[in-house]
Amino acid sequence: MRSASMSTPGLEAGSAAATIPAAARAAAGTASGRPPRRGGPRPPVVHPRRRMPERTWTPLAVLDWTTRRFAEAGIASARLDAQVLLAHVLRCDRVALYTAFDKPLAAGELAAYRGLIRRRLAGEPVAYLVGEREFWSVPLAVTPDVLVPRPDTETLVQVALDLVDARVGGRGARADAEVRIADIGTGSGAVAIALARELPRASVVATDVSDAALAVAARNVDRHGVGGRVSLARGDLTAALPAGDAFDLIVANLPYIPTAELAQLPADVRREPRLALDGGADGLAVIARLVAAAPAHLAAGGAIALEHAADQAGAVAAHLAGAGFRDVATHRDLARHPRVTSGARG
């Protein structure tokens, strides 16, 4: 493999993302939760003439070459991306890449991998390239119609579980908790599915304004066998909730990036649905609408939990207090960034 300073000709190709241990996922969290909003990595720089030399390529050699190539292009998770993409092509897990490190790739495998490298360097998210992302230790289908699930959003799941525990009398009562939950803006269904798996007697209504996103969520709900307890509904925020229903908990990971900052996002993040990113002028337009509407859909003592950017915690707390919520609290993610703010119906 050639580096930027070498003059040997080469062949270029593609790029990579998926299952990561919890500690690694925590380290990968960003201060903004969705993508980096400010000061994030620069968009990848493509050098079309830099190619992999024609030779016999083993997994280890391919990974080393691709890692350097991705790093040169400004991709922060260069090694991980290379591993995920190669594991996808070879239909194995990442560990197997090293147990068979000296087995040459077949011509078809190498061609497929080169194609993914080219697409990654062009800015496509790894999750879209492989069609999957793990969330809460569960593999989920993802497409360009949904936001890529991120480790930071697992904080929203944990806060939701803690709120349920407080409502039903402790974690020991969780298995029997017959709670009603609304997941507003479900996207891929990640949060709704995680909660349904953790709370076997809970029922969840997961809503989204996008038909395409709901189609992806339906695939994931069916895949993980929670269709009997997770129902999907199309509509804007609480408009999709069944009339007269009172929920014990409302959770939401809504758009919260200010419109003016969207153009500054990394290239791969800009490939994600604008509908799932654009939070209006201050980033809080959609969140504020939900906060105003939520009390009418919560049971007595019911709670709400909202994901937001690290620098929005105070503003979200103020919105909740202004809408009459009590016990307003902000919760930090594993990287110690303020990530979720919750409150109970007054």
Are residues 103 and 232 both part of a single domain? Answer: no
Three-state SS at 124: coil
Residue 41: HSE in the Cβ half-sphere, 13 Å Cα cutoff: 20
pLDDT of residue 170: 79
Q: At what angle do helices 211-223 and 190-198 cross, to 10 degrees?
A: 30
Which residue segment(s) compose the domain that 255 sits in? 151-344
Alpha-carbon span 110 to 90, nearest angstrom = 10
Tens of pLDDT, residue by residue over 223-262, are 999 999 999 999 999 999 988 889 999 999 999 999 999 9
Token pair, residue 257, equals: 């990036």
Judged against a pLDDT cut of 50, whether residue 39 lies above it is answered with no
Are residues 327 and 181 both part of a single domain? Answer: yes
Token pair, residue 170, equals: 């402790």
Q: What is the DSSP string of 208-230?
A: ES-HHHHHHHHHHHHHTT-TTTE
What is the edge-to-edge ordering of all strands in the sheet holding 230-234? Answer: 230-234, 203-208, 180-184, 247-252, 298-307, 338-344, 326-332
List Cβ neighbours of 324 (8 Å cut-off, separation of 6 or more): 295, 345, 346
Are residues 216 and 326 both part of a single domain? Answer: yes
263 within domain boundaries: yes
Judged against a pLDDT cut of 60, whether residue 49 lies above it is answered with no
Total number of domains in the chain: 2
Instruction: Look at residues 245, 253, 225 and name the one whose alpha carbon lies nearest to residue 341.
Output: 253
Are residues 108 and 180 both part of a single domain? Answer: no
Are residues 40 and 189 both part of a single domain? Answer: no
Are residues 189 and 300 both part of a single domain? Answer: yes
Are residues 223 and 118 both part of a single domain? Answer: no
Indicate the average pLDDT of the chain.
Answer: 88
Q: Residue 221 belongs to a domain with what CATH number? A: 3.40.50.150
Alpha-carbon span 69 to 73, nearest angstrom = 6
pLDDT of residue 235: 97
Are residues 161 and 124 both part of a single domain? Answer: no
pLDDT of residue 37: 53
Token pair 């009390």 is found at: 295
Alpha-carbon span 112 to 15, nearest angstrom = 11
pLDDT of residue 50: 58
Instruction: Look at residues 334, 269, 337 and name the one whose alpha carbon lies nearest to residue 21.
Output: 334
Token pair, residue 168, equals: 């039903």
Element (H, E) at 260: none
Please calculate the CA angle 143-11-20 and round it to the nearest 5 degrees.
Answer: 40
340 within domain boundaries: yes
312 within domain boundaries: yes
Are residues 275 and 214 both part of a single domain? Answer: yes
pLDDT of residue 56: 83
Tens of pLDDT, residue by residue over 297-307, are 999 999 999 99
pLDDT of residue 315: 99
Q: Contact at 8 Å (CB) between 31 and 308?
A: no
Alpha-carbon span 285 to 275, nearest angstrom = 12
Three-state SS at 89: helix
Tens of pLDDT, residue by residue over 90-117, are 999 999 999 988 899 999 999 999 999 9
Comparison of pLDDT for 31 and 285, the residue scoring more: 285
Q: What is the DSSP string of 44-61?
A: PPP-TT----SS---HHH
34 within domain boundaries: yes
64 within domain boundaries: yes
Q: DSSP character for 173?
A: G
31 within domain boundaries: yes
Token pair 């490190």 is found at: 101
Judged against a pLDDT cut of 60, whether residue 13 lies above it is answered with no
Are residues 126 and 213 both part of a single domain? Answer: no
Tens of pLDDT, residue by residue over 169-218, are 877 788 888 999 999 999 999 999 999 999 999 999 999 999 999 999 99
Alpha-carbon span 128 to 17, nearest angstrom = 9
Domain boundary among 81, 97, 130: 130
Q: Contact at 8 Å (CB) between 321 and 300?
A: no
Domain boundary among 76, 95, 130: 130
Model confidence at 3, in pLDDT bands (50, 70, 90)?
very low
Are residues 327 and 212 both part of a single domain? Answer: yes
Query: pTM, whole model, 2 decimals?
Result: 0.83
145 within domain boundaries: no
pLDDT of residue 182: 99
Tens of pLDDT, residue by residue over 103-162, are 999 999 999 999 999 999 999 999 999 999 999 999 999 999 999 999 999 999 999 999
Q: Residue 109 belongs to a domain with what CATH number? A: 1.10.8.10
14 within domain boundaries: no
Total count of residues recorded for the chain? 346
Are residues 114 and 171 both part of a single domain? Answer: no
Domain boundary among 70, 97, 130: 130
Token pair 């038909």 is found at: 211
Q: Contact at 8 Å (CB) between 179 and 168?
A: yes
Instruction: Look at residues 18, 98, 91, 88 and name the one whose alpha carbon lies nearest to residue 58.
Output: 98
